[in-house]
Copies of this chain bind each other. A is one copy, B any other.
Amino acid sequence: MNRMKCLYLIAFAICASVLGFNCAVAGELADEDGSRLWLRGDKYNGAEVLFRGSMTPSIEIALSELRGGWRGGPVRLELKKGGGKESFRIFSDKNGIKITSAGDAGLLYGAYHLLRMQNTGADMSNIDVSEMPAFDLRILNHWDNPDGSIERGYAGHSLWRWDELPGVVAPRYREYARANASVGINGAVLNNVNASPTILTKDNLVKVKAIADELRPYGVKTYISVNFASPMVVGCLPTADPLDKGVGRWWKDKVDEIYGLIPDFGGFLVKANSEGQPGPCDYGRTHAEGANMLAAALARHGGIVMWRAFVYSASDSDRAKQASLEFQPLDGEFAPNVIVQIKNGPIDFQPREPYSPLFTSLEHTPTMVEMQLTQEYLGFSNHLAYLAPLWKEFFDFVPPSSLKGIAGVANTGDDVNWCGHHFGQSNWYAFGRMAWDPGLTSGEVAEEWLKQTFCSDSAFVTPVKGMMLDSREAVVDYMMPLGLHHIFAWGHHYGPEPWCEVPGARHDWLPSYYHRADKQGIGFDRSVTGSNAVSQYPDSLCRLYGDVSTCPEEYLLWFHHVPWGHKMRSGRTLWDELCHRYDHGVSEARRFQCVWDMAEPYVDSRRFRDVQSKLRIQSRDAVWWKDACLQYFATFSGMPISYGIERPVHDLDDMMKFKLDITNEECPESGFNK
C-alpha cells in the first residue's frame, strides 16, 4: 500500500517536472531558518499606498506592510463607519484597490488579507471581499513560566524574557505580534494556567505592560493567567475565599493597578480547583462564585474572565464525566463577562476525542473552546501533525456560532523557527485562520500556508498538502486508533506506556484506567451499562455512541469495552483491525517521508533537511508505538500480531524497561531508538 502510493507520487512528480515549476530550481534556493514563518514576501517598496485620516499605530503598520509587500497598483485605506472594528472590505474601483473598515484593526487585517491573496496567487481581478471574524476572542494561551520554561512547550524557552524586561524589549515581541495579526489572532495570555501568583507583583506587571505595548499596535490584547490564591501569596491576606470582602477588595485594587498600566488589558484566565491548583471550592464556594468575584473586579474596565472547565476530581468513576458533573449545575450562574473555557474533548487533547458534552449542555453560559497547538499528545515538535482537521472535526459537532471565542495553547518558543518543527508553524497559522473563519477547509488553509511558507508550485503544494491533511489521522493510527486514549508514558506524553503502573498514583492518571485491556477485550465502557458518560450527550448522539453496533469506529474503544473477536466493518476482528490500524499508521509515516523527499527541488536545503530529519524520527517513533502497543495488548488478546503486517522490531521487555530521558518541557532529540 505504502509503495503503491509512492509509485503514484513518482508518476505525479514526473508529470510535474515535465510541466516545470515556478518557484524553485534545484540548487538555487538560499537556505532559510524558518524564522520568517509564512511572512516571506520580498521587500518591494514600490507600492503606492494611501490613507487619509487620523493615523494610528495599527494603520501605520498596515501602510508599511503594503508598501513593503504589495506588487500591484495603488491601494487606498479608509476608515468607514458601520460593521465591526475588525471587519474589512477589499474591493477594486477605477482608482485601484480599496480597503475599508470601521476600525484600524480592520484595516490592518485587510492589508494582511490583500497580501495573502497576492502571495497565494488568488484571482485579483474585480476583487470584492468582505470579511468579518467568526469569533470576537481569538486568543493564544502561553503556558510559559516565570523561569522561562514552558509547560508542554517543545520549541525552546519562553519568548518572554522576564529577566530582561522591562529594560530590554526584544524585537521578537513585535515579530510575534505581527505573525498573529497576519492571521487574525487578537489576544495572548502570556503565562501558564498553572499560574505563579508572582505575575501580579508590581515588578512583574510592569514587565507585562512592556509586552502589551508591543502587541497593541498589532491588535493583540494582553491577558494573564492568575492564581486563585494570589491574595494570600501576594497580598498576604489570610484567605482567598471569594466571598470574603477583603479578598474582593484586593482583587479590585489589583485590577485597577493593572488597568493603570495597561488601559486595554484583556482580563484573566483561571485554572482553579484543577490538578492541585487553588480555587473557590477550597472555601466551599462554587466555580461560579469564584469566577464572578473576579469578573466584578474586571467588569468596570471591560475585562473578562476565562474560567477553565478542565476539572476532574477523583470522586467519580469516569474522568470524562467530571467537567460536566461540576459545571452543568452552575449553568446560568456566571456573570456576563465570564466565559467558561472548555477543552475540545472531555479528557485532555488526545489525538482524537469526541467533543466535550459541556458544549451542548451549558445553555445559559458563554463558552469558548480551548484547542491545543503544542503537540503535547501528538509527538511534540518531532511529529508532523497538521491539526486543522482535528479542529474541523470539533466544529462538526459544536457550531462556531455557539461559542464566544476560541483559545489555542501556543506551540511557540524561542527556537529560531518558532515552533521546533517547521510544520508546527502551520498549526499556528491554521489556528488563526480558522479562528477568523472556521468555514475554511483544512486543505484551503494548508495550501495558503504552504504557498507562503515554501513554494506555490502545484507540483509541491498538492502532494505536500495531501500529506498534511492525512497527518493527524496517521498519528491517531500509530498512537491510539479506534478510540483508544491516554496510553501515554508517565512523566511525559511523548511515547507509549500502556503498561504504566506507578505505585500510589491516581488511578485516572494511569493508562490502564483508559484502555482497560483484559482477556475479554479492550476499551472503556461508557455506555449506559458502564459509566454512562454517553448520557451527557444529546439523545441522538447518546443512542448512536451508546450502542456498540452504531458507534462510529473511531470512537469505539472510547465508549465501549469490546471483545477481541468483535467483527469490525472491515470484516476483521477487533484485534486484527487494531493490528492493521497501527501498521497503517506506520505506513503513512513512511509515505510522508517519500512525499517530502520528492519535494526536495522545491525547498531550500536547510529546511528540507530539518523536516526530513523530523519525518525520520516520526517514522521510527511510529514503529516504536506500534511495537509497544500491539505487543502489550497481545498479552491480553492472546492472539499473534496479524501475520499480514510487518513484524515488531522491538522487544516488549526492552521497551518496558526503556525510559526516555526527557521531561514534559523538552522534545527528545532523536525520538525513540537512540
Interchain CB contact under 8 A, A643 and B674: no
A647 (CB) vs chain B CBs: closest residue: B593
Chain B residues, CB < 8 A from A643: 6, 9-10, 13, 594, 597-598
Bound Cα distance from A67 to B654, whole angstroms: 45
Bound Cα distance from A594 to B649, whole angstroms: 11
Interchain CB contact under 8 A, A640 and B9: no
Interchain CB contact under 8 A, A616 and B649: yes
Question: A620: CB under 8 A from chain B?
Answer: yes
From residue 636 to 660 of chain A, which have CB atoms closer than 8 A to chain B? Answer: 640-641, 643-644, 646-651, 654
Chain B residues, CB < 8 A from A640: 597-598, 600
Contact among B2, B9, B600 for A646, CB-based, below 8 A:
B2
Interchain CB contact under 8 A, B600 and A644: no
A613 (CB) vs chain B CBs: closest residue: B651
Bound Cα distance from A590 to B627, whole angstroms: 14
Chain B residues, CB < 8 A from A654: 670, 674
Interchain CB contact under 8 A, A649 and B619: yes
Question: A15: CB under 8 A from chain B?
Answer: no
Interchain CB contact under 8 A, A616 and B3: no
Copies in the complex: 2
Interchain CB contact under 8 A, A651 and B10: no
From residue 655 to 674 of chain A, which have CB atoms closer than 8 A to chain B? Answer: 670, 673-674
Question: A129: CB under 8 A from chain B?
Answer: no
Chain B residues, CB < 8 A from A644: 3, 6-7, 10
Given A598-B643, A643-B13, A670-B654, verify A648-B616 contact (CB < 8 Å). Answer: yes
From residue 571 to 610 of chain A, which have CB atoms closer than 8 A to chain B? Answer: 590, 593-594, 597-598, 600
Cβ of A455 to closest chain B Cβ, rounded Å = 18
A621 (CB) vs chain B CBs: closest residue: B649
Bound Cα distance from A9 to B643, whole angstroms: 9
Interchain CB contact under 8 A, A620 and B597: no
A622 (CB) vs chain B CBs: closest residue: B649
A624 (CB) vs chain B CBs: closest residue: B673
From residue 608 to 639 of chain A, which have CB atoms closer than 8 A to chain B? Answer: 612-613, 615-616, 619-620
Bound Cα distance from A7 to B13, whole angstroms: 31
Chain B residues, CB < 8 A from A674: 654, 673-674
Bound Cα distance from A7 to B644, whole angstroms: 6
Bound Cα distance from A598 to B646, whole angstroms: 12
Chain B residues, CB < 8 A from A646: 2-3, 590
Cβ of A597 to closest chain B Cβ, rounded Å = 6
Bound Cα distance from A10 to B642, whole angstroms: 10
Interchain CB contact under 8 A, B673 and A647: no
Chain B residues, CB < 8 A from A6: 643-644
Bound Cα distance from A600 to B639, whole angstroms: 12
Contact among B616, B647, B651 for A650, CB-based, below 8 A:
B616
Chain B residues, CB < 8 A from A641: 597
A627 (CB) vs chain B CBs: closest residue: B616
Bound Cα distance from A3 to B643, whole angstroms: 9
A597 (CB) vs chain B CBs: closest residue: B647
Bound Cα distance from A650 to B612, whole angstroms: 10
Chain B residues, CB < 8 A from A616: 647-651
Interface residues as binary, A1-42 with B (CB distance below 8 Å gives 1, 0 otherwise): 011001101100100000000000000000000000000000
From residue 420 to 462 of chain A, which have CB atoms closer than 8 A to chain B? Answer: none
Chain B residues, CB < 8 A from A13: 643
Interchain CB contact under 8 A, A594 and B2: no
Chain B residues, CB < 8 A from A651: 612-613, 616
Chain B residues, CB < 8 A from A7: 644
Contact among B3, B615, B647 for A619, CB-based, below 8 A:
B647
Contact among B10, B594, B647, B649 for A647, CB-based, below 8 A:
B594
A650 (CB) vs chain B CBs: closest residue: B616
Bound Cα distance from A598 to B643, whole angstroms: 7
Interface residues as binary, A479-506 with B (CB distance below 8 Å gives 1, 0 otherwise): 0000000000000000000000000000
Cβ of A183 to closest chain B Cβ, rounded Å = 32
6 contacts between A and B (CB under 8 A): A590-B647, A616-B650, A619-B647, A654-B670, A654-B674, A673-B673
Per CB-CB distance, the 10 closest pairs between chain A and chain B, nearest first, are: A593-B647, A673-B673, A616-B649, A619-B649, A10-B643, A620-B649, A613-B651, A594-B647, A597-B647, A6-B643
Using A3-B646, A590-B647, A654-B674 as known contacts, list a sample of 12 further A-B pairs with CB atoms less than 8 Å apart, ordered by residue number in A: A6-B643, A6-B644, A593-B647, A593-B648, A594-B643, A594-B647, A597-B641, A597-B647, A600-B640, A613-B651, A616-B647, A619-B647
User: A residues bordering B, Cβ < 8 Å?
Assistant: 2-3, 6-7, 9-10, 13, 590, 593-594, 597-598, 600, 612-613, 615-616, 619-620, 640-641, 643-644, 646-651, 654, 670, 673-674
